[in-house]
Amino acid sequence: MSDKVIIAKDLTRKFGNFVAVDAVSFEVSKGEIFGFLGANGAGKTTAMRMLCGLLAPTSGAASVAGFDIASQTEMVKKHIGYMSQKFSMYGDLTVKENFLFYGGVYGLKRKVILERLDMMLGLLQLREATNSLVDSLPLGWKQKLSFSLATLHQPGIIFLDEPTGGVDPIARRQFWDLIYEAANDGVTIFVTTHYMDEAEYCDRVSIMVDGKIEALDSPENLRKQFNAESMDAVFQELARGTSTK
Amino acid sequence: MKPAISIQKLNKSYKDEQALKNISFDVEQGELFGLIGPDGAGKSTLFRILTTLLLADNGEAEVMGLDVVDDFRNIRNRIGYMPGRFSLYQDLTVEENLDFFATIFGTTIEANYDLIKDIYVQLEPFKDRPAGKLSGGMKQKLALCCALIHKPEVLFLDEPTTGVDPVSRKEFWQMLKRLKQQGIAILVSTPYMDEAALCDRIALIQKGEILSIASPESINDSFHGTLVAMKSHRMYELLKALRIHPKVESCYAFGEYLNATLVEGVTDWKPIEQDMRDKGFDDLVAHDATVGIENVFMQLLSKTEA
Amino acid sequence: MKQYLAFVKKEFRHILRDKRTLLILFGMPVAQILIFGFALNNEVENAGVAIYDMSGDYESVLLQNRLENSEQFFIERECQTTECIEEAFRQSKARIGIILPQNFGSDLLNGQKPEIKIVSDASDPNQAQVLTSYATAIILTHVKGRATIVQNAPIVSAIPRMIFNPELKSVYMFVPGVMGLILLLVGAMMTSLTIAREKELGTMELLLVSPLYSWHIIFGKVTPYWLLSFFNAMVIVTLGIIVFDMPMNGSAALLIGSCLLFSLTALALGIFISAKANSQMTAMFVSMMGLLLPTILLSGFVFPIENMPIVLQVVSNIIPAKWFIMIIKGLMIKGSGMTVIWKPVAVLVFITLLLGVAAIKSVKPRLNE
C-alpha cells in the first residue's frame, strides 16, 4: 500500500446544471495535515462529503484509506473520523455516555471504550468532565472532546469541518496541539477553516475557487508563489475575483 | 453630545450562569466599537439587552439617551440590528426582503436608497433570487441593507462575519467604515481578532466580563513582557521544546511563526535561540515579534484563568 | 395599517412559495373528507346474520325476508341453538344474531310483546353497536308496520340518531368533525408553526426590534390563515353537500358565522401555543398532542361521547371542537335555528374569549428567556 491515503482524481459533483466540484485532483499522504480552504460556496463541503462517502460523485473517482468512495462507502466510513463545528456530541448525554454510544456504533467493546476514554481524558486533563453533561461544558472543552471522540475508533484519517469556529484564541491553539499530536502519530488530518493563521499550521494547503482547486502547496511555497506576506493575502488574491458573486 | 450607547453596571443571569458581570462602557456617536470575544462570552446577551429584546437583571443602559426599558419603542425606531444568525426570509427574494423591512419601518427603499446604494448595487443583479440561495457573503450584505434601510442612528451587528470567508469579511469591514463616515455609530461583535484592528475602540470580553477597553493601537501597548517569534520546519517539536524552556512563560502558534512570551524580567531571547539551535533546530529563524490584539487577549485570558 | 398589510403580503408569499404548506392547506381538507367519507365508512353492508327462529311461523318468516332484503344484512345461517350463533361469530361468518321467541307471530298480532333478542359480536364494540342499531331499526320499522304493538327493544339509544339520519350515513357525522379538525389544524397548528419558524430563523428578533407592535405581528400572521381556514371550511361543506348528499337544512349565515367563530378559537389556541413554543418541533408536538388527538378522540367526532366513561365525558366539555360539531350538526342535519343551538354557541364564545385573553396576554414585546 502506498502512503497516499487520500487520492482524488477528476472528482466532480454536479447539482443539476451547477458544477459544485469541478474535476478536482489531489493526493494526501499519511500523517499529513492538509488544509482545505475556499470561500463560502466554493465547493469545500461538497468535496468533503464525497470523500467521507456521504455523497456519490457525478464523475471521477477518489479513494480514502485505500477504499473507493463510490463503491466501498461502508469501508470508507469505518476508517475515517469526522468532526464538525455544528455536530459534535449529544448535549443531554454525559461525556462517557457519548463515548459509549459512538464506540458502540463502531463496534468497540465497552471495556476498550472506557480504557481509551480514560486515557484520552487524562491527556486532555479533563478527567473531571467524564460524568458531566456535555451541554454544561465550555465550548473549548467540547471541541477537544469532540476531537477525541472522532479518534475513538482510531481512524487513519480525520476530517475536521471548521472545528475551531468561535472558540477563544487559547482554546483554538490547544485544539491545534491535538491536531499536531495526532499527525505525529501518523493520523492524516483533513481540515477546513476560515482562520487564515490556521492555514499556516497545515503541511499543505489547497484553495478552492468555484469548484476548482486553484492552488495547492505548502503555506511557505504559496506565499512565495503569490508574492504575499501571509496566507490571508494569498487567499484574498485568489478568491477576490469570485467573491462578488 | 450624549454618547450613542451608554452602559452602566449591567448584570444579567440565566438560570445558573451569570452571562454579564457588571458591564460598563460608552460608545460615542459616529464610533465604530468592537466587542471581541469567543462564543459564550456574553456578546449576544449584551446586544439583546441594548436592542430592547431582553431585560437586564440590574444596571442601566441607554441608546441615543433613551432608556432601554422605558423608551424601548422609541429606540426600536432608531436602531438597526443584525442578529447573530442569518435572519432574513429565505423564501423571499432579495428585493422582497428589503421591501418588507422598509415597510415595517414605515419607509420605502427609494427614500433611503442613498445609504445602501454602495452595498445594494452588488446585490441588484440577484434581486429576484430567494435570499436562501445567496452565498454567505451576499446574505450578509443583504442583512446589512435590511438593517440600514430605515436610516438608523445606531447599528448593532452581532457577529456579522462569523462563518464568512476572509474575502467577504474584508469587504464587509470596508462597508462598515463607509457607514461610520456617514455618522452612524456601530457596535459590532466578532470572534476574529484580526478584525479588531479595524475598530476605533475595542472591548475584550470573556465569560461575561470586560477584560480591557482601548483603541487597537493602545491595547497592544498593554502587553506585558517580551514576545519573540520563531520558526523552523519542525514546528510542533519546536513548540514543545519552547514550552518546556525555563525562560519561556508561554508559547503558541501564530500563523507562520511561534510566539513565545518570556518569563517576567527576561528580555533577551538570544540565549533561548541558542538553546534551540543546540537541540538541533538548525533552520531556526528568530526575531522580535510584533504584538497583536490576539497576543494581548491571550495574555488577559490566561491571567483571568489563573 | 400599511405595516400590517405588508405583513399579510409577506405571509401569503411564504404560503404560496412553500409547496408543502400549500399541499397541506388545500390537499388535506379534500383528502380528509374523502377518507372519512369513503374509506373509514362505518356503514354496514351485507353483514351476516345468524337467525334462531323458535317459532317458524308466517310473521317470523316475513321478518327474515325483510332482513334478507335489506342492504345491510343477509341471513348467513339458520340456527336451532344459541351455540350455533356463537359458532357463527367465532368463524366470523355472522356478526349479529337474532333470536325470535316461540309464538312470535301470534304474540305479535295479539298485542303481546314478543321479545326479540339481538346479540352481536362485541369484539368490535363500535361496529357491534352500529349493527345492533341497524337491526333494531329494521325490525322495529317492520314490526310497527305489522302491528300496533311497540316493541320494548333493549337498545333504544340508537333510535334518536336515526330520526335525523335515517340511513345512518356516517358521512353526516364526519363532515362536521372534519370541518372542526381542519379549522383547528390550519388555524392553530399552522399559526403556531409559522410563528415558531420565525423564532427558529431568528427573524422574530428582527421583527421585535422593529417598530412593529405585537398586534401587527400577531394579526399579520393570523389573517392569512384565518381566511384560508374559512375557505377550507366552505370547501368541506360544499364537498359534503355535493359528493355525499349532506343535507343543509339550517341557515347558511349561521353556518358561516359559526365557522368564523371556531376559526377564532383555533387562532387563539395557535397564538397561545406559539407564545410558549420556541421551535417548530415543540409547536408541532403541542398542536398534535394537545389539540389534534383530544379533538379526534373526545369531541364526539369518531367516538360517541355517550359511550365514554363519565370522566371523559366531563373532560370533553372543554374541547372546543365538541361544541362546534354540535352546532354544525344542529344546523346542517336538523336545521335547528339559534333558539336551539344557542347553548353550544354560548359555550364556544365563552371558550374563545377565554383563550383570546390568554393569547393576548401571552404575547410579549420582548424575547422569551
pLDDT score of A3: 85
Q: Name chain C contacts of B14, Cβ cutoff 8 Å.
A: 369
CA–CA gap between residue A220 and residue A203 (Å, rounded): 9
Most confident of B24-33, C107-116, C118-127: B24-33
Proportion of chain B in helix, strand, coil states, percent, rounded to 5: 40, 25, 35
Q: Hunting for cell 528580555 — which residue is that?
A: B267
Q: Pairing between strand B58-63 and A67-68?
A: unpaired
pLDDT band for position C191 (50/70/90)?
Answer: confident
Q: Is the dihedral of CA B160, B198, B304, B260 positive or negative?
A: positive
Q: Is residue B203 part of a domain?
A: yes
Top pLDDT among A190 and C316 is at A190
The residue-averaged pLDDT of C349-356 equals 90
Write out residues 174-203 of A within 8 Å (CB-CB) of B: 176-177, 180-181, 183-184, 194-197, 200-201
DSSP label at residue A84: E
CA–CA gap between residue B304 and residue B207 (Å, rounded): 10
CA–CA gap between residue C121 and residue C119 (Å, rounded): 7
What's the grid cell of residue A218? 505548502
**Cβ count near A233 (within 10 Å):** 16
* Helix C214-244 vs helix C170-184: crossing angle, to nearest 10: 160
CA–CA gap between residue A187 and residue A182 (Å, rounded): 5
pLDDT band for position C131 (50/70/90)?
Answer: confident
Q: Hunting for cell 401569503 — which residue is that?
A: C12
What are the backbone angles phi and psi of residue B250, rounded to the nearest 5°?
A: -150, 160
pLDDT score of A85: 72
CA–CA gap between residue C283 and residue C37 (Å, rounded): 29
Percent of residues, chain A, with pLDDT higher than 90: 59
CATH topology for the C47-146 domain = abc type-2 transporter like fold (3.40.1710)
C349: helix, strand or coil: helix
List the single residue in B with minimal CA-CA distance to A44: B165
Least confident of A41-50, A162-171, C260-269, C294-303: C294-303
pLDDT score of B61: 95
**One domain, residues B249 and B183:** no
Residue ranges per structural domain of chain C: 2-40+169-362, 47-146
CA dist list (Å): C101 to A100, C55, C67, C147: 72, 6, 17, 17
Q: Is residue B243 part of a domain?
A: yes
Domain total of chain B:
2
CA–CA gap between residue B229 and residue B259 (Å, rounded): 5
pLDDT digits (tens, 9 = 90+) for A128-172: 999 999 988 888 888 899 999 999 999 999 999 888 887 888 888
DSSP label at residue A87: -
**One domain, residues B169 and B182:** yes
CA–CA gap between residue A242 and residue B8 (Å, rounded): 44
Residue ranges per structural domain of chain A: 31-56+73-239
CA–CA gap between residue B170 and residue B163 (Å, rounded): 13
CA–CA gap between residue A53 and residue B273 (Å, rounded): 47
CA–CA gap between residue A13 and residue A20 (Å, rounded): 6
CA–CA gap between residue B148 and residue B102 (Å, rounded): 9
pLDDT band for position C186 (50/70/90)?
Answer: confident
Chain C residues whose C-beta is within 8 A of a chain B C-beta are 2-3, 6-7, 9-10, 13-14, 17-18, 201-203, 205-212, 216, 365-367, 369
**One domain, residues B23 and B108:** yes
Contact C366 B52 (CB under 8 A): yes
Euclidean distance between the first and the last CA atom of chain C, given in angstroms as a whole number: 30
CA–CA gap between residue C262 and residue C264 (Å, rounded): 5
pLDDT digits (tens, 9 = 90+) for B246-278: 999 999 998 889 999 999 889 999 999 999 999
pLDDT score of C159: 33
CA–CA gap between residue A163 and residue B262 (Å, rounded): 30
CATH number, domain at B249?
3.30.70
Counted residue by residue, chain A has a size of: 245
CA–CA gap between residue B71 and residue B91 (Å, rounded): 34
pLDDT score of B171: 87
Least confident of A41-50, C223-232, C299-308: C299-308
pLDDT score of B82: 93
Within a 13 Å sphere around the CA of B94, how many CA atoms are in the beta-carbon half? 21
**One domain, residues B136 and B283:** no
CA–CA gap between residue A50 and residue A65 (Å, rounded): 14
pLDDT digits (tens, 9 = 90+) for B103-112: 999 899 999 8
Q: Is residue B295 part of a domain?
A: no
Nearest by Cα to C290 from C340, C217, C355: C355
Letter for the amino acid at A19? V
pLDDT band for position A241 (50/70/90)?
Answer: low
**One domain, residues B140 and B258:** no
pLDDT score of C161: 31
pLDDT digits (tens, 9 = 90+) for A72-128: 999 999 999 999 876 678 889 999 999 999 999 888 999 999 999 999 999 888 999
**One domain, residues B124 and B253:** no
pLDDT score of C333: 79
pLDDT score of C150: 44
Contact B104 C367 (CB under 8 A): no
What are the backbone angles phi and psi of residue B96, rounded to the nearest 5°?
A: -65, -40
**How far off is chain B from C281, nearest CA to CA, in Å?**
19
Query: Mean pLDDT in chain C?
Result: 80
Q: Which residues contact C353 (CB under 8 A, 6 or more apart)?
A: none
The residue-averaged pLDDT of C215-242 equals 86
pLDDT score of A191: 95
Chains that touch B (3 or more CB pairs under 8 A): A, C
pLDDT band for position C165 (50/70/90)?
Answer: very low
B301: helix, strand or coil: helix
CA–CA gap between residue C15 and residue C19 (Å, rounded): 8
Q: Hunting for cell 482601548 — which residue is that?
A: B214
Q: Hunting for cell 298480532 — which residue is that?
A: C109
Query: Mean pLDDT in chain B?
Result: 91
Q: What CATH superfamily is the domain A31-56+73-239? A: P-loop containing nucleotide triphosphate hydrolases (3.40.50.300)
CA–CA gap between residue C62 and residue C105 (Å, rounded): 10
Contact B256 A230 (CB under 8 A): yes
pLDDT score of C218: 84
What is this model's ipTM? Answer: 0.82
Chains that touch A (3 or more CB pairs under 8 A): B
Percent of residues, chain C, with pLDDT higher than 90: 4
pLDDT digits (tens, 9 = 90+) for B113-126: 988 888 898 889 99
DSSP label at residue B58: E
Q: What secondary structure does DSSP assign to B234-284, as a single string?
A: SHHHHHHHHHT-TTEEEEEEETTEEEEEEPTT----HHHHHHHHHTT-TT-
Q: Hunting for cell 481512524 — which residue is that?
A: A155
Q: Does B89 touch chain C if contact means CB atoms closer than 8 Å?
A: yes
Q: Which residue in B73, B83, B103 is closest to C202 by CB distance?
A: B83
pLDDT digits (tens, 9 = 90+) for C71-100: 788 888 888 888 888 888 888 788 888 888
Most confident of B97-101, C151-155, C271-275: B97-101
List the single residue in C with minimal CA-CA distance to B157: C206
Q: Which domain holds residue B278?
A: 224-290
pLDDT score of C41: 57
Nearest by Cα to C117 from C136, C98, C102: C98
pLDDT score of C43: 59
Within a 13 Å sphere around the CA of A170, how many CA atoms are in the beta-carbon half? 15
pLDDT at C177 over 50: yes
Q: Which residue in C6, C18, C208 is closest to B91 by CB distance?
A: C18
pLDDT band for position C164 (50/70/90)?
Answer: very low
The residue-averaged pLDDT of C194-215 equals 86
Within a 13 Å sphere around the CA of C75, how many CA atoms are in the beta-carbon half? 17
Sheet containing strand B285-288, edge to edge, reads B248-254, B257-262, B227-231, B285-288
With touching defined as 3 or more inter-chain CB pairs under 8 Å, the answer for chains A and C is: no
Euclidean distance between the first and the last CA atom of chain A, given in angstroms as a whole number: 43
**One domain, residues B231 and B212:** no
**One domain, residues B281 and B170:** no
pLDDT score of C44: 64
- Asked if residue A13 lies in contact with residue A46, where contact means CB atoms within 8 angstroms, the answer is yes
DSSP label at residue B90: T
Q: Name chain A contacts of B168, Cβ cutoff 8 Å.
A: 39-40, 243
> What DSSP element (H or E) covers B77?
helix B72-78
Top pLDDT among C134 and C126 is at C134
Q: Name chain B contacts of A219, Cβ cutoff 8 Å.
A: 256
User: What are the counts of helices (DSSP H) followed by strands (DSSP E) for chain A?
Assistant: 9, 10
**One domain, residues B207 and B254:** no
Q: Name chain C contacts of B54, Cβ cutoff 8 Å.
A: 366-367, 369
pLDDT score of C155: 30
Q: Which residue in B136, B164, B298 is closest to A170 by CB distance?
A: B298
**How far off is chain B from A235, nearest CA to CA, in Å?**
8
